[in-house]
Amino acid sequence: MDCMRIQSTLSHKKNWNYDVFVSFRGETRNNFTDHLFDALHRHGILAFRDNTKLDKGEVISEGLMQAIEGSQVFIVVFSMDYASSRWCLRELAKIADCNQATGQHVLPIFYDVSPAEVRWQSENYGKAFLKHEQRYKHDADMMEQVRTWRRALKMVADLSGWDVKDKPQSAEIEKIVKVVTRIVNPKLSSSPSNDIVGMQSPLEELEKLLVSDSHDDVRVVGISGMGGIGKSTLATILYEKISHQFDVPCFVDDVSKIYESYGPLGIQKQLLCQAFKEEDFPIWNLSFGNNLIQTRFRTRKALIVLDNVDQRIQLEKSAIKREWLGKGSRIIIVSRDEHILKEYGADGVYKVKLLNDENALQLFCGKAFKSNHVAKDYESLTESALAYAKGLPLAIRVLGTFLFGRNVSEWSSALVRLKERPTKDIMDVLRISFDGLEDMEKEIFLDIACFFRNDDPDDYVKDILRIRGFHPDIGIRTLIDKSLITFNSGNFVMHDLLRELGRSLVREKSPKEPIKWSRLWVLRKRGYFQYKSIL
Protein backbone atom coordinates (compact mmCIF):
# COMPACT_ATOMS: atom_id res chain seq x y z
CA MET A 1 0.00 0.00 0.00
CA ASP A 2 1.40 3.40 -0.96
CA CYS A 3 1.44 5.98 1.80
CA MET A 4 -1.40 8.44 1.34
CA ARG A 5 -0.73 12.13 1.71
CA ILE A 6 -3.20 14.37 3.46
CA GLN A 7 -4.51 17.05 1.18
CA SER A 8 -4.79 20.53 2.58
CA THR A 9 -8.29 22.00 2.80
CA LEU A 10 -6.83 25.38 3.51
CA SER A 11 -4.63 26.01 0.49
CA HIS A 12 -3.03 29.42 0.62
CA LYS A 13 -1.05 28.91 -2.57
CA LYS A 14 -2.85 31.85 -4.19
CA ASN A 15 -1.45 31.99 -7.72
CA TRP A 16 2.01 30.69 -6.84
CA ASN A 17 3.48 28.21 -9.29
CA TYR A 18 6.05 27.08 -6.72
CA ASP A 19 6.34 27.16 -2.96
CA VAL A 20 10.08 27.81 -3.03
CA PHE A 21 12.77 29.05 -5.41
CA VAL A 22 16.34 28.23 -4.37
CA SER A 23 19.20 30.38 -5.66
CA PHE A 24 22.58 28.66 -5.27
CA ARG A 25 26.04 28.26 -6.77
CA GLY A 26 27.00 24.94 -8.32
CA GLU A 27 29.57 24.22 -5.62
CA THR A 28 26.72 23.35 -3.21
CA ARG A 29 24.72 21.34 -5.74
CA ASN A 30 25.80 17.86 -4.68
CA ASN A 31 25.84 18.40 -0.93
CA PHE A 32 23.90 20.98 1.08
CA THR A 33 21.53 22.14 -1.66
CA ASP A 34 20.74 18.61 -2.76
CA HIS A 35 19.87 17.64 0.83
CA LEU A 36 17.75 20.80 1.14
CA PHE A 37 15.72 19.99 -1.99
CA ASP A 38 15.21 16.44 -0.75
CA ALA A 39 13.92 17.64 2.64
CA LEU A 40 11.55 20.13 1.00
CA HIS A 41 10.18 17.38 -1.23
CA ARG A 42 9.65 14.99 1.71
CA HIS A 43 7.61 17.66 3.49
CA GLY A 44 5.38 18.16 0.44
CA ILE A 45 6.87 21.54 -0.48
CA LEU A 46 7.11 22.25 -4.21
CA ALA A 47 10.51 23.76 -4.97
CA PHE A 48 11.72 24.98 -8.37
CA ARG A 49 15.04 23.41 -9.26
CA ASP A 50 17.17 24.82 -12.07
CA ASN A 51 19.35 21.94 -13.22
CA THR A 52 21.06 23.92 -15.97
CA LYS A 53 24.82 23.90 -15.67
CA LEU A 54 26.80 27.03 -14.86
CA ASP A 55 28.61 29.21 -17.42
CA LYS A 56 25.23 30.27 -18.74
CA GLY A 57 24.43 33.10 -21.09
CA GLU A 58 24.35 36.76 -20.24
CA VAL A 59 20.56 36.97 -19.93
CA ILE A 60 18.35 34.96 -17.56
CA SER A 61 15.75 33.05 -19.54
CA GLU A 62 12.14 34.16 -19.49
CA GLY A 63 11.15 30.82 -17.96
CA LEU A 64 13.50 31.34 -15.03
CA MET A 65 12.18 34.87 -14.50
CA GLN A 66 8.65 33.48 -14.40
CA ALA A 67 9.74 30.81 -11.91
CA ILE A 68 11.14 33.50 -9.62
CA GLU A 69 8.04 35.67 -9.91
CA GLY A 70 5.79 32.63 -9.31
CA SER A 71 7.51 31.43 -6.12
CA GLN A 72 6.16 32.25 -2.68
CA VAL A 73 9.47 31.89 -0.82
CA PHE A 74 13.08 32.47 -1.88
CA ILE A 75 16.00 30.63 -0.31
CA VAL A 76 19.39 32.08 -1.17
CA VAL A 77 22.36 29.83 -0.37
CA PHE A 78 25.42 32.07 -0.05
CA SER A 79 28.58 30.07 -0.66
CA MET A 80 32.19 31.13 -1.10
CA ASP A 81 31.98 31.65 -4.87
CA TYR A 82 28.34 32.83 -5.09
CA ALA A 83 29.27 36.45 -5.90
CA SER A 84 31.63 35.42 -8.68
CA SER A 85 28.65 34.15 -10.69
CA ARG A 86 26.91 36.85 -12.72
CA TRP A 87 24.03 34.43 -13.19
CA CYS A 88 23.53 34.09 -9.42
CA LEU A 89 23.72 37.86 -8.96
CA ARG A 90 21.09 38.41 -11.65
CA GLU A 91 18.83 35.93 -9.87
CA LEU A 92 19.49 37.74 -6.61
CA ALA A 93 18.62 41.13 -8.10
CA LYS A 94 15.33 39.74 -9.42
CA ILE A 95 14.58 38.18 -6.03
CA ALA A 96 15.23 41.50 -4.29
CA ASP A 97 12.87 43.26 -6.73
CA CYS A 98 10.11 40.71 -6.03
CA ASN A 99 10.62 41.05 -2.29
CA GLN A 100 10.23 44.82 -2.44
CA ALA A 101 7.32 44.75 -4.88
CA THR A 102 5.16 41.95 -3.47
CA GLY A 103 6.65 41.05 -0.09
CA GLN A 104 7.67 37.54 -1.13
CA HIS A 105 9.73 35.99 1.67
CA VAL A 106 13.52 35.78 1.34
CA LEU A 107 15.50 33.39 3.57
CA PRO A 108 19.31 33.75 3.36
CA ILE A 109 21.56 30.81 4.24
CA PHE A 110 25.27 31.37 4.85
CA TYR A 111 26.81 28.06 3.86
CA ASP A 112 30.59 28.34 4.07
CA VAL A 113 30.89 32.10 4.51
CA SER A 114 30.11 34.41 7.40
CA PRO A 115 27.10 36.76 7.26
CA ALA A 116 29.49 39.72 7.73
CA GLU A 117 31.54 38.73 4.67
CA VAL A 118 28.41 38.73 2.52
CA ARG A 119 26.81 41.77 4.12
CA TRP A 120 29.90 43.98 3.82
CA GLN A 121 31.14 42.33 0.62
CA SER A 122 34.61 41.63 2.00
CA GLU A 123 37.15 38.86 1.42
CA ASN A 124 35.97 36.54 -1.40
CA TYR A 125 32.86 38.64 -2.03
CA GLY A 126 34.93 41.82 -2.21
CA LYS A 127 37.35 40.20 -4.65
CA ALA A 128 34.47 38.97 -6.84
CA PHE A 129 32.96 42.44 -7.14
CA LEU A 130 36.35 43.99 -7.94
CA LYS A 131 36.59 41.56 -10.87
CA HIS A 132 33.10 42.48 -12.08
CA GLU A 133 33.90 46.19 -11.88
CA GLN A 134 37.22 45.69 -13.64
CA ARG A 135 35.52 43.76 -16.41
CA TYR A 136 32.78 46.34 -16.99
CA LYS A 137 34.65 49.55 -16.24
CA HIS A 138 34.11 50.82 -19.79
CA ASP A 139 30.41 49.83 -19.91
CA ALA A 140 28.21 52.32 -18.04
CA ASP A 141 25.11 50.16 -18.22
CA MET A 142 26.87 47.11 -16.83
CA MET A 143 28.53 49.18 -14.10
CA GLU A 144 25.07 50.27 -13.01
CA GLN A 145 24.00 46.64 -12.96
CA VAL A 146 26.97 45.77 -10.75
CA ARG A 147 25.85 48.48 -8.32
CA THR A 148 22.37 46.93 -8.41
CA TRP A 149 23.90 43.56 -7.52
CA ARG A 150 25.70 45.12 -4.58
CA ARG A 151 22.49 46.67 -3.26
CA ALA A 152 20.56 43.41 -3.66
CA LEU A 153 23.31 41.48 -1.88
CA LYS A 154 23.35 43.92 1.02
CA MET A 155 19.55 43.87 1.31
CA VAL A 156 19.24 40.07 1.37
CA ALA A 157 22.26 39.55 3.65
CA ASP A 158 20.71 41.94 6.18
CA LEU A 159 17.67 39.69 6.55
CA SER A 160 17.37 37.12 9.30
CA GLY A 161 18.68 33.76 8.14
CA TRP A 162 20.88 30.80 9.04
CA ASP A 163 24.63 30.59 9.48
CA VAL A 164 25.18 26.86 8.85
CA LYS A 165 28.96 26.94 8.60
CA ASP A 166 30.50 24.18 10.74
CA LYS A 167 27.05 23.01 11.94
CA PRO A 168 25.26 19.66 11.42
CA GLN A 169 23.56 20.10 8.06
CA SER A 170 20.59 17.79 8.68
CA ALA A 171 19.52 19.62 11.84
CA GLU A 172 19.85 23.04 10.21
CA ILE A 173 17.91 21.91 7.14
CA GLU A 174 15.05 20.70 9.34
CA LYS A 175 14.90 24.15 10.97
CA ILE A 176 14.78 25.79 7.55
CA VAL A 177 12.03 23.46 6.32
CA LYS A 178 9.92 24.18 9.41
CA VAL A 179 10.06 27.91 8.74
CA VAL A 180 9.18 27.39 5.07
CA THR A 181 6.26 25.16 6.08
CA ARG A 182 4.86 27.85 8.36
CA ILE A 183 5.01 30.36 5.51
CA VAL A 184 3.43 28.24 2.77
CA ASN A 185 0.85 26.69 5.12
CA PRO A 186 -0.16 29.61 7.35
CA LYS A 187 -2.44 29.41 10.37
CA LEU A 188 -6.17 29.67 9.98
CA SER A 189 -7.35 33.12 9.04
CA SER A 190 -9.50 35.00 11.53
CA SER A 191 -12.02 35.43 8.72
CA PRO A 192 -13.02 31.88 7.68
CA SER A 193 -13.98 31.14 4.08
CA ASN A 194 -17.29 29.55 3.15
CA ASP A 195 -15.74 26.08 3.38
CA ILE A 196 -14.89 26.51 7.09
CA VAL A 197 -17.84 28.55 8.32
CA GLY A 198 -18.46 28.15 12.03
CA MET A 199 -15.09 26.51 12.70
CA GLN A 200 -13.39 29.31 14.62
CA SER A 201 -15.09 28.72 17.96
CA PRO A 202 -14.71 24.91 17.83
CA LEU A 203 -11.03 25.35 16.99
CA GLU A 204 -10.53 27.53 20.03
CA GLU A 205 -12.29 24.97 22.23
CA LEU A 206 -10.17 22.15 20.84
CA GLU A 207 -6.96 24.07 21.36
CA LYS A 208 -7.92 24.59 25.00
CA LEU A 209 -8.39 20.82 25.37
CA LEU A 210 -4.98 20.21 23.83
CA VAL A 211 -3.14 22.55 26.19
CA SER A 212 -2.23 21.54 29.73
CA ASP A 213 -0.28 23.04 32.61
CA SER A 214 2.59 20.64 31.95
CA HIS A 215 4.61 20.82 28.73
CA ASP A 216 5.86 17.29 29.26
CA ASP A 217 2.61 15.34 29.35
CA VAL A 218 1.08 13.46 26.41
CA ARG A 219 -2.58 14.34 25.90
CA VAL A 220 -5.32 12.58 23.97
CA VAL A 221 -8.28 14.59 22.70
CA GLY A 222 -11.35 13.21 20.97
CA ILE A 223 -13.64 14.80 18.39
CA SER A 224 -17.11 13.30 18.23
CA GLY A 225 -20.46 14.03 16.59
CA MET A 226 -23.02 12.74 14.12
CA GLY A 227 -22.14 11.96 10.52
CA GLY A 228 -21.78 14.98 8.24
CA ILE A 229 -21.37 17.45 11.10
CA GLY A 230 -17.81 18.39 10.15
CA LYS A 231 -15.57 16.34 12.45
CA SER A 232 -12.98 15.50 9.79
CA THR A 233 -12.98 19.03 8.43
CA LEU A 234 -12.40 20.39 11.92
CA ALA A 235 -9.57 17.93 12.57
CA THR A 236 -7.92 18.78 9.25
CA ILE A 237 -8.05 22.52 9.90
CA LEU A 238 -6.67 22.04 13.39
CA TYR A 239 -3.86 19.88 12.00
CA GLU A 240 -3.01 22.56 9.43
CA LYS A 241 -2.91 25.17 12.14
CA ILE A 242 -0.72 23.45 14.74
CA SER A 243 1.29 20.74 12.94
CA HIS A 244 4.33 22.99 12.55
CA GLN A 245 4.74 22.97 16.35
CA PHE A 246 5.61 19.26 16.35
CA ASP A 247 8.66 17.24 15.32
CA VAL A 248 6.61 14.52 13.64
CA PRO A 249 3.09 15.46 12.48
CA CYS A 250 0.97 12.59 11.11
CA PHE A 251 -2.61 12.56 9.80
CA VAL A 252 -4.08 9.11 9.16
CA ASP A 253 -7.17 9.61 7.03
CA ASP A 254 -10.07 7.14 7.34
CA VAL A 255 -8.62 4.67 9.85
CA SER A 256 -11.67 2.44 9.49
CA LYS A 257 -11.15 1.98 5.75
CA ILE A 258 -7.40 1.39 6.08
CA TYR A 259 -7.97 -1.16 8.85
CA GLU A 260 -10.60 -2.98 6.82
CA SER A 261 -8.36 -3.15 3.73
CA TYR A 262 -4.88 -3.59 5.20
CA GLY A 263 -5.32 -4.30 8.91
CA PRO A 264 -3.31 -2.67 11.70
CA LEU A 265 -0.10 -2.89 9.64
CA GLY A 266 -1.66 -0.43 7.18
CA ILE A 267 -2.20 2.11 9.95
CA GLN A 268 1.30 1.65 11.34
CA LYS A 269 2.74 2.08 7.88
CA GLN A 270 0.85 5.35 7.45
CA LEU A 271 2.26 6.67 10.71
CA LEU A 272 5.85 5.75 9.97
CA CYS A 273 5.78 6.94 6.35
CA GLN A 274 4.42 10.34 7.29
CA ALA A 275 6.53 10.74 10.41
CA PHE A 276 9.81 10.02 8.67
CA LYS A 277 8.96 11.25 5.18
CA GLU A 278 9.40 7.92 3.44
CA GLU A 279 7.48 6.80 0.35
CA ASP A 280 7.36 3.26 1.67
CA PHE A 281 8.15 1.77 5.06
CA PRO A 282 8.59 -2.03 5.08
CA ILE A 283 6.83 -3.65 8.05
CA TRP A 284 6.63 -7.45 8.14
CA ASN A 285 4.52 -8.05 11.23
CA LEU A 286 2.82 -6.31 14.12
CA SER A 287 5.63 -7.02 16.57
CA PHE A 288 8.12 -5.32 14.26
CA GLY A 289 5.73 -2.41 13.70
CA ASN A 290 5.15 -1.99 17.42
CA ASN A 291 8.88 -1.88 18.05
CA LEU A 292 9.44 0.70 15.32
CA ILE A 293 6.72 2.99 16.67
CA GLN A 294 7.98 2.67 20.23
CA THR A 295 11.62 3.36 19.34
CA ARG A 296 11.08 6.01 16.65
CA PHE A 297 8.49 8.11 18.49
CA ARG A 298 9.59 7.96 22.12
CA THR A 299 12.07 10.85 21.88
CA ARG A 300 9.99 13.00 19.53
CA LYS A 301 7.17 15.44 20.07
CA ALA A 302 4.49 13.99 17.82
CA LEU A 303 1.08 15.10 16.60
CA ILE A 304 -1.02 12.10 15.53
CA VAL A 305 -4.50 12.61 14.09
CA LEU A 306 -6.57 9.45 13.58
CA ASP A 307 -9.65 10.19 11.51
CA ASN A 308 -12.80 8.03 11.40
CA VAL A 309 -12.07 5.47 14.08
CA ASP A 310 -15.16 3.30 14.49
CA GLN A 311 -13.84 0.40 16.61
CA ARG A 312 -11.64 0.31 19.70
CA ILE A 313 -9.68 -2.62 18.23
CA GLN A 314 -8.35 -0.33 15.50
CA LEU A 315 -6.46 1.61 18.18
CA GLU A 316 -5.44 -1.42 20.22
CA LYS A 317 -4.06 -3.49 17.35
CA SER A 318 -2.25 -0.54 15.80
CA ALA A 319 -0.35 0.00 19.09
CA ILE A 320 -0.89 3.74 19.23
CA LYS A 321 -0.07 4.30 22.88
CA ARG A 322 0.53 7.59 24.60
CA GLU A 323 3.35 6.12 26.71
CA TRP A 324 5.32 5.43 23.51
CA LEU A 325 5.35 9.09 22.44
CA GLY A 326 7.79 11.85 23.33
CA LYS A 327 7.11 14.66 25.78
CA GLY A 328 4.50 17.18 24.67
CA SER A 329 2.97 14.85 22.08
CA ARG A 330 -0.73 15.01 21.21
CA ILE A 331 -3.12 12.39 19.84
CA ILE A 332 -6.40 13.52 18.25
CA ILE A 333 -8.98 10.81 17.57
CA VAL A 334 -12.03 11.48 15.40
CA SER A 335 -14.98 9.12 15.93
CA ARG A 336 -18.75 9.12 15.79
CA ASP A 337 -18.70 6.90 18.86
CA GLU A 338 -17.92 8.87 22.01
CA HIS A 339 -17.63 5.64 24.02
CA ILE A 340 -14.54 4.61 22.02
CA LEU A 341 -12.86 7.89 22.96
CA LYS A 342 -13.67 7.55 26.64
CA GLU A 343 -12.64 3.89 26.71
CA TYR A 344 -9.29 4.78 25.13
CA GLY A 345 -8.72 7.28 27.93
CA ALA A 346 -9.14 10.61 26.16
CA ASP A 347 -8.31 13.56 28.40
CA GLY A 348 -11.13 15.51 26.80
CA VAL A 349 -13.79 15.05 24.13
CA TYR A 350 -15.16 17.83 21.96
CA LYS A 351 -18.68 17.14 20.75
CA VAL A 352 -19.16 19.00 17.47
CA LYS A 353 -22.38 20.99 17.41
CA LEU A 354 -24.77 21.77 14.59
CA LEU A 355 -24.33 25.16 12.95
CA ASN A 356 -26.31 28.01 14.43
CA ASP A 357 -28.74 29.91 12.20
CA GLU A 358 -26.23 32.62 11.25
CA ASN A 359 -23.47 30.22 10.24
CA ALA A 360 -25.88 27.89 8.48
CA LEU A 361 -27.15 30.79 6.37
CA GLN A 362 -23.60 31.93 5.58
CA LEU A 363 -22.55 28.44 4.48
CA PHE A 364 -25.69 27.96 2.40
CA CYS A 365 -25.34 31.32 0.64
CA GLY A 366 -21.76 30.54 -0.24
CA LYS A 367 -22.80 27.29 -1.91
CA ALA A 368 -26.19 28.18 -3.39
CA PHE A 369 -25.51 31.79 -4.47
CA LYS A 370 -21.71 32.10 -4.40
CA SER A 371 -22.39 35.16 -2.33
CA ASN A 372 -22.78 36.34 1.26
CA HIS A 373 -26.48 37.08 0.94
CA VAL A 374 -29.72 35.52 -0.31
CA ALA A 375 -30.69 36.35 -3.87
CA LYS A 376 -33.93 38.24 -4.46
CA ASP A 377 -37.07 36.03 -4.70
CA TYR A 378 -35.29 33.15 -2.96
CA GLU A 379 -35.87 34.20 0.66
CA SER A 380 -38.68 31.79 1.57
CA LEU A 381 -37.09 28.95 -0.39
CA THR A 382 -33.85 29.49 1.49
CA GLU A 383 -35.74 29.27 4.79
CA SER A 384 -37.25 25.96 3.66
CA ALA A 385 -33.87 24.60 2.62
CA LEU A 386 -32.28 25.54 5.94
CA ALA A 387 -35.22 24.10 7.87
CA TYR A 388 -34.63 20.83 6.01
CA ALA A 389 -30.89 20.76 6.78
CA LYS A 390 -31.29 21.86 10.43
CA GLY A 391 -27.72 23.04 10.85
CA LEU A 392 -26.02 19.90 9.47
CA PRO A 393 -23.04 21.13 7.38
CA LEU A 394 -23.07 18.13 5.03
CA ALA A 395 -26.74 18.65 4.18
CA ILE A 396 -26.24 22.40 3.73
CA ARG A 397 -23.28 21.89 1.38
CA VAL A 398 -24.95 19.16 -0.68
CA LEU A 399 -28.22 21.02 -0.93
CA GLY A 400 -26.64 24.42 -1.68
CA THR A 401 -24.38 22.97 -4.36
CA PHE A 402 -27.31 21.16 -5.99
CA LEU A 403 -29.51 24.26 -6.04
CA PHE A 404 -26.84 26.64 -7.35
CA GLY A 405 -27.77 28.20 -10.68
CA ARG A 406 -31.34 26.89 -10.69
CA ASN A 407 -34.46 29.04 -11.00
CA VAL A 408 -37.22 29.50 -8.42
CA SER A 409 -39.46 26.84 -9.95
CA GLU A 410 -36.63 24.29 -9.92
CA TRP A 411 -35.85 25.14 -6.29
CA SER A 412 -39.48 24.56 -5.28
CA SER A 413 -39.61 21.24 -7.11
CA ALA A 414 -36.31 20.08 -5.62
CA LEU A 415 -37.31 20.90 -2.05
CA VAL A 416 -40.62 19.03 -2.38
CA ARG A 417 -38.79 16.02 -3.80
CA LEU A 418 -36.21 16.08 -0.99
CA LYS A 419 -38.94 15.80 1.65
CA GLU A 420 -40.27 12.74 -0.13
CA ARG A 421 -36.89 11.19 -0.95
CA PRO A 422 -33.75 12.62 0.71
CA THR A 423 -30.60 12.88 -1.37
CA LYS A 424 -28.46 9.74 -1.43
CA ASP A 425 -25.23 11.66 -0.72
CA ILE A 426 -26.54 12.67 2.69
CA MET A 427 -28.26 9.40 3.57
CA ASP A 428 -25.19 7.31 2.71
CA VAL A 429 -23.08 9.25 5.21
CA LEU A 430 -25.70 9.04 7.95
CA ARG A 431 -26.32 5.35 7.37
CA ILE A 432 -22.73 4.40 8.29
CA SER A 433 -23.54 4.91 11.97
CA PHE A 434 -26.72 2.84 11.74
CA ASP A 435 -24.93 -0.04 10.01
CA GLY A 436 -22.49 -0.24 12.93
CA LEU A 437 -25.21 -0.92 15.49
CA GLU A 438 -26.11 -4.25 17.04
CA ASP A 439 -29.51 -5.67 16.05
CA MET A 440 -31.38 -4.53 19.17
CA GLU A 441 -29.88 -1.05 18.95
CA LYS A 442 -31.06 -0.86 15.34
CA GLU A 443 -34.58 -1.75 16.48
CA ILE A 444 -34.51 0.97 19.16
CA PHE A 445 -33.22 3.51 16.61
CA LEU A 446 -36.00 2.64 14.15
CA ASP A 447 -38.65 2.86 16.87
CA ILE A 448 -37.47 6.32 17.93
CA ALA A 449 -37.28 7.46 14.29
CA CYS A 450 -40.75 6.19 13.43
CA PHE A 451 -42.81 6.63 16.58
CA PHE A 452 -41.49 9.38 18.86
CA ARG A 453 -41.17 13.14 18.78
CA ASN A 454 -38.34 15.23 20.18
CA ASP A 455 -40.58 16.57 22.94
CA ASP A 456 -41.53 13.13 24.29
CA PRO A 457 -40.23 12.68 27.88
CA ASP A 458 -37.41 10.18 28.22
CA ASP A 459 -39.26 8.00 30.77
CA TYR A 460 -42.23 7.74 28.38
CA VAL A 461 -39.95 6.62 25.54
CA LYS A 462 -38.18 4.07 27.73
CA ASP A 463 -41.49 2.64 29.02
CA ILE A 464 -42.72 2.01 25.48
CA LEU A 465 -39.41 0.44 24.47
CA ARG A 466 -39.53 -1.88 27.49
CA ILE A 467 -43.04 -2.96 26.47
CA ARG A 468 -41.55 -3.72 23.06
CA GLY A 469 -39.12 -6.13 24.75
CA PHE A 470 -35.98 -4.00 24.36
CA HIS A 471 -33.41 -2.90 26.96
CA PRO A 472 -33.64 0.88 26.52
CA ASP A 473 -31.15 2.04 29.18
CA ILE A 474 -28.07 0.53 27.54
CA GLY A 475 -29.50 0.76 24.03
CA ILE A 476 -30.24 4.47 24.27
CA ARG A 477 -26.84 5.11 25.87
CA THR A 478 -25.23 3.47 22.82
CA LEU A 479 -27.27 5.64 20.44
CA ILE A 480 -26.16 8.75 22.34
CA ASP A 481 -22.51 7.64 22.27
CA LYS A 482 -22.75 7.08 18.52
CA SER A 483 -24.27 10.55 18.02
CA LEU A 484 -27.54 9.17 16.63
CA ILE A 485 -29.60 10.90 19.31
CA THR A 486 -28.89 13.52 21.97
CA PHE A 487 -30.35 14.11 25.40
CA ASN A 488 -31.68 17.57 26.18
CA SER A 489 -33.82 18.74 29.12
CA GLY A 490 -35.34 15.33 29.79
CA ASN A 491 -35.99 14.48 26.14
CA PHE A 492 -34.28 12.34 23.54
CA VAL A 493 -33.66 14.45 20.44
CA MET A 494 -33.09 13.01 16.95
CA HIS A 495 -32.09 15.15 13.98
CA ASP A 496 -34.81 15.23 11.33
CA LEU A 497 -32.48 13.75 8.71
CA LEU A 498 -31.65 10.83 10.98
CA ARG A 499 -35.35 10.39 11.59
CA GLU A 500 -35.91 10.35 7.84
CA LEU A 501 -33.07 7.84 7.49
CA GLY A 502 -34.84 5.49 9.90
CA ARG A 503 -38.13 5.75 8.08
CA SER A 504 -36.49 5.28 4.69
CA LEU A 505 -34.82 2.12 6.00
CA VAL A 506 -38.22 0.78 6.98
CA ARG A 507 -39.64 1.62 3.55
CA GLU A 508 -36.72 0.62 1.34
CA LYS A 509 -37.57 -3.05 0.63
CA SER A 510 -41.19 -2.36 -0.35
CA PRO A 511 -41.55 1.42 -0.79
CA LYS A 512 -45.05 1.17 -2.30
CA GLU A 513 -46.40 -1.61 -0.06
CA PRO A 514 -46.71 -0.30 3.52
CA ILE A 515 -48.30 -3.56 4.62
CA LYS A 516 -44.85 -5.16 4.30
CA TRP A 517 -43.10 -2.53 6.45
CA SER A 518 -41.90 -3.53 9.91
CA ARG A 519 -43.38 -0.29 11.28
CA LEU A 520 -46.24 2.02 10.38
CA TRP A 521 -46.56 5.55 11.76
CA VAL A 522 -48.94 8.48 11.55
CA LEU A 523 -48.57 12.14 12.34
CA ARG A 524 -49.94 12.88 15.78
CA LYS A 525 -50.79 15.78 18.01
CA ARG A 526 -49.35 16.24 21.48
CA GLY A 527 -50.64 13.65 23.93
CA TYR A 528 -51.86 11.22 21.29
CA PHE A 529 -49.79 8.22 20.27
CA GLN A 530 -50.57 5.71 17.57
CA TYR A 531 -48.33 3.23 15.81
CA LYS A 532 -48.30 -0.28 14.50
CA SER A 533 -45.32 -2.57 14.63
CA ILE A 534 -45.38 -5.68 12.49
CA LEU A 535 -43.08 -8.22 14.16
Q: Are strands 330-334 and 162-163 parallel, antiparallel or unpaired?
A: unpaired
Angle at 399 between CA 482 and CA 512, to 5 degrees: 75
> Beta strand pairing status for 302-306 and 330-334?
parallel
Packed helices 286-297 and 255-275: angle between N→C axes, nearest 10 degrees: 50
- Long-range contacts from 245-248, C-beta under 8 angstroms, 24+ separation: 245/303, 246/301, 246/302, 246/303, 246/329, 246/330, 247/300, 247/301, 247/302, 247/326, 248/274, 248/275, 248/276, 248/297, 248/300, 248/301, 248/302, 248/303
Of 27, 91, 172, 240, the catalytic one is 91
- Report d(CA 364, CA 374) in Å as an integer: 9
Among candidates 102, 24, 23, which has minimal Cα distance to 70?
A: 102
Task: Let me know: does 390 contact 497? Beta carbons within 8 Å.
Answer: yes
* Amino acid found at 19: D
91 in active site: yes
Task: Count CB neighbours of 100 within 10 A.
Answer: 11
In 235-275 the beta strands, taken as DSSP E runs, fall at 248-252
The enclosing H or E element of 66 equals helix 62-69
Q: Quick check: 207 and 240 in contact, CB under 8 A? A: no
Task: Point out the residues that are catalytic.
Answer: 91
